[in-house]
Amino acid sequence: MSRHILRHLATVDPVLGGVIRAAGPYRNAPEAGCEPFQILAQAIAHQQLNGTAANTILARLVASVGQGSFPTPQQVLAAPAAQLRAAGFSFAKVAALKDLAAKALAAVVPDRATLEQLDDAAIIERLTEVRGVGRWTVEMLLMFHLGRPDVLPVDDFGVRAGFRAAYGLRKLPHPKALAAWGERWKPHRSAAAWYLWRALELERAGTLPAPAERVRLPRIAKRRRAKPRKGHRTGKLRGAGASSARPRRSGARTRARRRRGAPPRAPASKK
């Protein structure tokens, strides 16, 4: 990465500049060669699993469905669900794989050459149409496979935790607040995200520098709960129902009459 990019980040954000100096040069070589279908299929396999388990499932997929090569969309669509289940995919992941294959054949998920001609927003919009593929998955594709320079995955736990560590915060930043703060990093937010991941590693190693200045994130307005309408039940008795539920104070009133010298009331006659 050219020095002027790191100089820009350090100038607009002294705290991030300290992380850059501690972490060293930016190292992110995009992975070349894989088609979007394969990248997303691998991402689906890795969801909620550790790397070893996911790679084992993918190896079974290659052996059984792809006959030794990564399967094509046509092969995935033709494969019985039981065959995919036997490889280790859950019912939800089988449905996601089938949907991915169908959308690849329909060109909703294009080939790599076509994908590279689209801007980031268009890629996110198209690929998140696939069942089980969210914005974070597409952002990882943009950063690590297409080498896009201005991606900030604000929902990523590592990015948020790295920001908390680097800036000396007590809790994780809200994604919207992190997005607002990250506006100053444009057009190099991918590099900023990479250094936030490094900040978490530096913290664990005990070599993270103290923040150069104290920062205050933008406040995110919280949604207020709608107030109950008048007369709506809120757990308290209101109106006529409340008066009828009050305890009777006949004993206190009788004692007050006696102190005033008034004769006690005659009991009501029964008819």
Could you give the residue numbers annotated as active site?
Answer: 156
Q: Which helix (H) or strand (E) holds 251?
A: helix 250-259
- Can you tell me the distance from the alpha carbon of 53 to that of 28, in angstroms, rounded to the nearest whole number? 25
Q: Tokens 């680097």 correspond to what residue? A: 166
Angle (nearest 5°) at CA 59 between 37 and 92: 60
Give the residue from 142, 46, 50 showing the smallest Cα distance to 61: 46
**20 contacts 199 by C-beta, under 8 angstroms:** no
- Can you tell me the distance from the alpha carbon of 150 to that of 191, in angstroms, rounded to the nearest whole number? 8
| Peptide linkage before 187 cis (omega within 30 of 0) | yes
- Can you tell me the distance from the alpha carbon of 153 to that of 178, in angstroms, rounded to the nearest whole number? 10
